[in-house]
Amino acid sequence: MKYQSTRGNSPLIGFQDALMTGLARDGGLFLPADIPDVRAALAAWQKLSYAELSFEVMRLFSDLLEPDLRALIAQGLTAFRHPEITPVVPLGNLHVLELFHGPTLAFKDVALQFLGRLFEYKLDRAGGRMNVLAATSGDTGSAAIHGIRGRRHMRVFVLYPHGRISPVQERQMTTVMDANVFALAVRGSFDDCQEIVKELFGDLPFRDRCALGAVNSINWARILSQVVYYFYAAFRVMERTGKPRVRFAVPTGNFGDAFAGYLAWRMGLPISRLLLATNENDILARFFNTGIYRRGRLCHTLSPSMDIQIASNFERYLFYRAGEDPQRLRAWMAQFQATGELQPKGGLTGKPDPFFAAGSADAAACLAAIRDCYSAHGYLLDPHSAVGWYVAQSFLDPEEPMICLATAHPAKFSEAIRQATGRDLAHHEILDALTGLPERRTVLPASAPAVREFMQTKIGGGD
Ligand SMILES: *Cc1c(COP(=O)(O)O)cnc(C)c1O
């Protein structure tokens, strides 16, 4: 499989090169040159374990030797505490896909436990070093740090908005003492962090000198790892219910997870609808309901990993909306950059995409969802998953079972649980064990030069 940039000005490259490059040099994101049709394989795939299914999905997109790919998948999955990796739990009239059984208790572990090992594998063979740079609103950073800590040939620099992530999320990053880990608290918003990362990746001499690598969901391998659990969950629910099609409700921030679902559908998985659930930062919900993509003001919510106005992966979807025409996409992105607004015309646009539905939940709805789900089922949803669960209630259909993605363990957001239920119900021994441990972090201003300078001093002149 070869990879193309959404902006069309980069040569086609292989999987391992796309993996190491992150953002394409023309500013675009990598996509496979074509999407394999797997409908003929679905019946056989239904019988596979999570590890076997991962292998079958990923081998279609990767250029690794097959035994190596198999081994890397197996090693990544050892970090998960559940034998099914991503179990699907029936809950009333819907199903919850639990994606939080990895080391940092959020779905991002699924991709990052694999990605860290994949980088190490590649660097073992190609030589050299890599400096991973990522922006996080909480969960990506800890998952990246736990995927890369102690791995050979790599450092990881994580930018997060100072004072705007939960104390427990911060501790998941700052208590990691491995010498190759740097937690950087930036005085600004998550979008500022994301902008700094973009700017440094756009500084090509710096990028080359430091061998910058990306782990946020612009990295194609992350999307690919997430495609697997859509297949896995759909199979479990189709078995359980005997229905031929399913729906998914996806709490959305950067549109990475949602794009993985879109891809699974394009590959032939019978998903009838993908429901995008946003919090008050509802740019994506507004787009799918009105056709206008307009930047709004960022607000801070109970679901901070979805506090995003500019969804970086949305460009991948727009590429298909543009009829896979990079020139049209470039014009759209330039328009959005200049005006903060985009109403895509031409390509496949003009009507809404019937595959997606969208809704949003504000703080009151999110808290009510946590409370209602707990009182009806004794099941605690974290605030991100609760946004999905809330929006899902308006799209239930007995013929098309609904699978709600549970993207984080409630204990990561115990304050919201307390607010919703009035009780201190959400705990996890992994998080409790972090309290009182020594912490290490550096506070920096929201400026790309400051971050660049910090990185240069840590990286030094050598490797
Ligand atoms: C990252 C994250 C999301 C949003 O996922 P995207 O791929 O950015 O859309 C939702 N919930 C949780 C808990 C997350 O960490």
Q: Residue 215 has what pLDDT?
A: 86
10-19 pLDDT, tens digit each: 999 999 999 8
143-202 pLDDT, tens digit each: 999 999 999 999 999 999 999 888 899 999 999 999 999 999 999 988 899 899 989 988
Report the nearest atom of ligand 1 relative to the CA of 252. 9
Give the residue, out of 29, 108, 222, 382, with the most ligand 1 atoms within 8 A of its beta carbon, to mutate for a pocket test. Answer: 108
- Taking the centre of ligand 1 as the mean of its atom positions, its distance from the CA of residue 214, in whole angstroms, is 17
- Taking the centre of ligand 1 as the mean of its atom positions, its distance from the CA of residue 253, in whole angstroms, is 5
Report the nearest atom of ligand 1 relative to the CA of 254. 8
Give the residue, out of 173, 227, 250, 306, with the most ligand 1 atoms within 8 A of its beta carbon, to mutate for a pocket test. Answer: 306
Q: Residue 350 has what pLDDT?
A: 53
Ligand 1 site residues, Cβ closer than 6 angstroms: 106, 108, 139, 217, 251-258, 305-306, 384, 407-408
Q: Residue 463 has what pLDDT?
A: 43
Q: Residue 258 has what pLDDT?
A: 97
- Taking the centre of ligand 1 as the mean of its atom positions, its distance from the CA of residue 306, in whole angstroms, is 6
Report the nearest atom of ligand 1 relative to the CA of 408. 13
- Taking the centre of ligand 1 as the mean of its atom positions, its distance from the CA of residue 245, in whole angstroms, is 24
| Residue 365 half-sphere exposure toward CB, CA atoms < 13 A | 18
Q: Residue 318 has what pLDDT?
A: 94
Residues of the chain with pLDDT under 70: 346-352, 461-463
Ligand 1, atom 14: nearest CA belongs to which residue? 305
Q: Residue 424 has what pLDDT?
A: 95
Ligand 1, atom 7: nearest CA belongs to which residue? 256
Q: Residue 202 has what pLDDT?
A: 87
- Taking the centre of ligand 1 as the mean of its atom positions, its distance from the CA of residue 407, in whole angstroms, is 7
Q: Residue 462 has what pLDDT?
A: 47
Report the catalytic residues: 108
Q: Residue 315 has what pLDDT?
A: 95
